[in-house]
Amino acid sequence: MDSLDELRSRMLNSVKEGIKSAYESEEFALMQASNAFRELSKSYNLAYERLSEWYGIYFPEIKLSNPKSLAQLAIALNSNPPDREAIAKVIEDPSKVDDVYSKASATIGRKMGAEERDALVKFAELSLSMEVATEQLKAYIKAASTRMLPNTSYLTDETIAAELLSKAGSLDKLATMPASTIQLLGAEKALFKHIKFGSKPPKYGILFKLPAIGTAPKYMRGRIARAYATKISIGLKGDVYSKRFIGEALKKSLDSAVERIKSSPEPEQKPWKPERPAMRYNGGTRRGNYRGGGGRRNNNRRPRN
């Protein structure tokens, strides 16, 4: 009979092996990369906005919509006086180099101190490093999604396929989801609001990022999202179970379905009516048969005399 220490050691080793085997699949790395890409993209946009406002007090005449070019220009104009060759490396149009150089030499902005210059340059370098990291994450997501979700990536794109996987939690869960659930992945808040308060139900979630849905007329978007979700659901079975590439056939069928939806006449738009009447509670309004604090159900309340 094993001692308690030996039994404990065997149990710990079994747990460790279980954890190790559970994370052997690359799907978990892809989900983390997808989450990191979305969060880093938001941070990168915020850093660009901050750099644009910060550098604007020193050089208000320049306006660049490209975050990378703005960061490079902020570093290039760090020298005093500004370096024409450094500006030429950032500005792709040679005809604008002299204009930027003359404006930088006679700017009406604040004169930059040494400490301010160092801080601004470090922040610009951070913005550039974030841009590089974003591109590396995007390249990995594209490669990993193509390996694990070839059909889904072919129907949508690699970033959206990875985001669907991240919302589902695993490949098995995503592959067993019905089309209606795939259609609403990413719209959980709107769905819960509809269930709780009777508001207008959502018709799409992550799939709204697809150009075919995002650029379509509003009355068509729900039907197009449903067509995409149906084909994605079929494609996921090929990605996870049969390991067959059926994306081309699904894409052809999907395109024809979208064309039929676009050629159909616009239905008569009826005003939205909530499923449940609005009722007052604690000074506010909500949907459903609820009264009193904490949202307690009180259907059997007697009317006052």
Helix (H, G, I), strand (E, B) or coil at 285: strand
- What does the pLDDT look like over 53-77, one tens digit per residue? 998 888 888 777 888 888 888 888 7
- What does the pLDDT look like over 212-266, one tens digit per residue? 999 999 889 999 999 999 999 999 999 999 999 999 999 999 999 999 998 888 7
Give the pLDDT confidence score for residue 9 in this predicted structure.
82
| 113 shares its domain with 176 | no
Q: Is the pLDDT of residue 298 over 60?
A: no
**Reported confidence tier of residue 283, pLDDT bands at 50, 70, 90:** low
Taking residue 137's Cβ as centre, other Cβ atoms within 10 Å add up to 18
Give the pLDDT confidence score for residue 290 in this predicted structure.
43
Q: Please check whether residue 278 lies inside any domain of the structure.
A: no
**Reported confidence tier of residue 41, pLDDT bands at 50, 70, 90:** very high
> What gap in Å lies between CA 114 and CA 22, rounded to an integer?
53
| 124 shares its domain with 223 | no
- What does the pLDDT look like over 83-136, one tens digit per residue? 677 777 777 777 777 777 777 777 787 888 888 888 988 999 999 999 999 999
Report DSSP state, residue 201: P
Q: Please check whether residue 103 lies inside any domain of the structure.
A: yes
| 34 shares its domain with 122 | yes
Q: Show the tokens assigned to 33.
A: 């990369």
Average per-residue pLDDT for the chain: 83
Give the pLDDT confidence score for residue 86 in this predicted structure.
73
Cβ proximity of 156 and 145 under 8 Å: no
Taking residue 159's Cβ as centre, other Cβ atoms within 10 Å add up to 20
* Residue that terminates a domain, selected from 100, 117, 141: 141
**Reported confidence tier of residue 153, pLDDT bands at 50, 70, 90:** very high
Q: Please check whether residue 196 lies inside any domain of the structure.
A: yes
Please report the sign of the dihedral spanned by the C-alpha atoms of residue 41, residue 47, residue 50, residue 55. negative
Q: Please check whether residue 277 lies inside any domain of the structure.
A: no
pTM: 0.77
Q: Please check whether residue 280 lies inside any domain of the structure.
A: no
List b or e across 285-303, with b for residues whose CB sees 16 or more CB atoms inside 10 angstroms: ebbbebbeeeeeeeeeeee
| 161 shares its domain with 118 | no
Give the total number of structural domains in the chain: 2
| 108 shares its domain with 173 | no
Q: Is the pLDDT of residue 15 over 60?
A: yes
- Residue-wise DSSP of 78-110: TSSSPPHHHHHHH-S-GGGHHHHHHHHHT--SP
Give the pLDDT confidence score for residue 144 in this predicted structure.
94
Taking residue 104's Cβ as centre, other Cβ atoms within 10 Å add up to 21
**Reported confidence tier of residue 274, pLDDT bands at 50, 70, 90:** low
Residue 182 lies in domain: 150-263
- Cα distances (angstroms) measured from residue 170 to each of 23, 147, 166, 233, 237: 11, 15, 7, 14, 13
* Highest mean pLDDT of the ranges 141-150, 258-267, 294-303: 141-150
> What gap in Å lies between CA 303 and CA 254, rounded to an integer?
55
Q: List the CATH number of the domain containing 31.
A: 1.10.287.4070
Q: Which residues pair with 27 in a beta bridge?
A: none
| 106 shares its domain with 44 | yes
